[in-house]
Amino acid sequence: MFKKILVANRGEIACRVMRTAHRLGYRTVAVFSDADAQALHVRQADEAVRIGAAPAADSYLDIEALLAAARQTGADAVHPGYGFLSERADFAQACADAGLVFIGPPPAAIRAMGDKAAAKRRMIDAGVPCAPGYEGHDQSDDRLSAEAMRLGLPLLVKAVAGGGGRGMRLVHRYDELAAAIAGARREAAGAFGDDTLMLERLVDDGRHIEIQVFADAHGHAVHLGERDCTAQRRRQKVIEEAPSPVVSAQMRAAMGADAVAAALAVGYRGAGTVEFIVDAELRHYFLEMNTRLQVEHPVTECITGLDLVEWQLRVAAGEPLPLTQEQIVFSGHAIEARLYAEDPYDGWKPQAGRVAGWWPERVASTGAVRIDHGILTGTEVTPWYDAMVAKVIAHGSDRADAVRRLTRALEDAPLFGLRNNGRFLRDLVRHPQFAAAAMTTTRLDEWAATGEPLLQRTLPPEAAWRVAAAVLGGSTVDGVRPASVTAFELTLECGGETRTQHAPPQGVAVLSLADGELRCIVEGVQRRFPCMQDGATLHLSIDGAVFSFTEPSPCPATAAGADPSRACAPVAGVVAQVLVALGDTVAAGQPLVCVEAMKMEMWLHAAAPGTVTALHAVVRRSVAAGMLLVELEITQ
């Protein structure tokens, strides 16, 4: 038995685990890096311990620091959450060796499924259907290239220790293979400390469908139905739903039986997810098993009425599973949308900065909508960790009901202060192909390549300019406007566009602006919008799109033009690769430096031909946004 749980994670999953732990009477301990000292999960825990600097390698991946925190606080159990060390057998073993209960599967099961190549070989032996691939020990470029030729295209290059889309590359042409192998190796080594790769034939027009399994220490195992995770971008899940709109009861039983067999084959215990790829004929093939709680577990909780973290705690305490397979029933439909701090309209660039306003409780109090998050108004979203900041989950009587509830939640609870994918999520679940369950795992990437309107930034409507003029017309940048000035021309800026508006605008009257909500009259109709004023900026949300209006200073600073001789970091992050050296001659467009932030790689390219005269980028060194990385002498 255990009484105090250390949550070896951060953000929304740490908050999620603590919520159930507190309900069941357990004390909790949070751990935090320097970047997370004021984070929500720190505030919600009974105790909190600093474990290191901002980089994950110096904090959340430091096993000894986590064990020391447990000793310091008297914690007798550890919940790993997901990501970080959650699928590391050495961490589970270290907890056991320290006398701590690891709230997850035994080390042997993690090890068996953690090596995805070995796991696939084991599934083949167990009779679980698997996609064709190469899982051999020969990791030479020549052998991988030869196996790729044998398998044919398209195919996936995958890290055997991978997860969350890390260390994975999609190859459509043979001339992409060498770069895909190198990139997957580099990312896998940095994320997992293991650059071993495998190859897998890609199922065209496939759907990603996974089965939630649970096993106890008494030989019992069940499945809790499927989740459809087909809507993905670059192998990263965006929308998840349960049940799948294409899975019949017969197919569910077959996939569930295979998933339970997979868990029993490795002596599994606790929560796990067996992932399958499903082809156009609805044949399923084993992909991998995630030996942890999944990001998308809330949709399963919604349709089963079960608390999966509670099940984890009970199984870890030695109890048998609460229900048999026959006792598990499903009700309604649930959809989860992942809110990312990234700009889907600008190459999905990750965004870091201060959260100016966030009021999830406004829509999460109805019971049909749930928002799991780890952020607060005023806290910082940093570049050190995953870009996901929240999950918006809706439960309805059927799929259409769930979509309608989710759409409204995304519209009524926008995130203010930094660009995010909230409006994109709202538009995606309303897209005809999503409504028709016609998505595939590559559809979003195809849309990005073809300029799908869904990925075009929404411009502020005319009414938004007038509403902004009505609000900002009552103050200036410094907060003072002469009382004698009652009507004037107001210059506003939004999204790079500048307009002159008459203030006060005709047909618009402000009634109130408080607690993140604006009430106003527009052409005789009283309306309310999510809205907040943050200094000189007015954040206004209409139909899920956030527009940020400012009144430019009358004495603006002179903007420096782009200097082709200076290549600067696009965002704060870590230097992943440097492809040039001092004295090198480069051509226009040549890649120079790769910066990784929030699990995404961004490349700096030479803006003009020239010679490298100074190099400030060092691999694995942290850089700030705008930091000078490469200096060039431009060739005239």
Q: Which residues contact 555 (CB under 8 A, 6 or more apart)?
A: none
Please report which confidence band the pLDDT of residue 551 belongs to, taking 50, 70 and 90 as the band edges. Answer: confident
**Among the CATH numbers 1.10.357.10, 3.20.20.70, 3.40.50.2300, 3.40.50.20, which is that of 4-103?**
3.40.50.20
φ, ψ of residue 212 to 5 degrees: the values are: -80, 125
pLDDT tens digits, one per residue of 444-486: 999 999 989 999 999 999 999 999 999 998 744 344 455 555 6
Exposure letters 41-65 (e unless 16+ CB within 10 A, then b): bbebbebbbebbebbbeebbbbbeb
Q: Which two tokens stand for residue 509?
A: 């009257």
CATH homologous superfamily of 132-201 equals: ATP-grasp fold, A domain (3.30.1490.20)
Residue 601's contacts (CB-CB under 8 Å, 6 or more residues apart) are 183, 187, 576, 594, 595
> How does pLDDT run across 504-549, given as a tens digit for each residue?
898 999 999 998 999 999 999 999 999 999 988 999 999 999 999 9
- Provide the pLDDT for residue 478: 44
Q: How many C-beta atoms lie closer than 10 Å to residue 292's C-beta?
A: 24
Query: What residue spans in the chain does CATH classification 3.30.1490.20 cover?
Result: 132-201
Q: Where in the chain is the domain with CATH 3.40.50.20?
A: 4-103
Q: Note whether 364 and 371 are within 8 A (CB).
A: yes
Give the Å distances, CA to CA, from 598 to 166, 346, 386.
Answer: 11, 15, 5
Mean pLDDT of the chain, nearest integer: 91
What CATH number matches the domain at 206-331, 3.40.50.720, 3.40.50.410, 3.30.470.20, 2.60.120.1440? 3.30.470.20
CATH 3.30.470.20 occupies which residues in the chain? 206-331, 332-455
pLDDT tier at 597 (50, 70, 90 boundaries)?
confident
Domain with CATH 2.40.50.100 in the chain: 566-634
Query: What does the pLDDT average to over 430-452?
Result: 94
- Please, which contacts does 175-178 make with residues 24 or more away whose CB atoms are closer than 8 Å? 177/144, 177/145, 177/148, 178/141, 178/145
Instruction: Pull the structure tokens for residue 586.
Output: 């480069």
CA distance 360 to 373: 9
CATH code for the domain defined by 332-455: 3.30.470.20
CA distance 88 to 110: 7
Domain 566-634 has CATH 3.40.190.10: no
Per residue in 555-596, pLDDT tens?
Answer: 555 444 578 999 998 877 888 889 999 999 999 999 999 988
The whole-number pLDDT of residue 29 equals: 98
SS3 content of the chain, % helix, strand, coil (to 5): 30, 30, 40
Q: Which amino acid is at 599?
A: K
The pLDDT, as a whole number, for residue 349 is 87
User: Could you give the CA distance from residue 396 to residue 404 in angstroms, rounded to a whole number?
Assistant: 9
Q: Looking at the predicted structure, is the pLDDT value of residue 190 above 80?
A: no
Question: Could you tell me which residues come within 8 angstroms of residue 237 by beta carbon, excluding any fewer than 6 positions away?
Answer: 165, 208, 229, 231, 295, 296, 338
Mean pLDDT of 131-157: 92
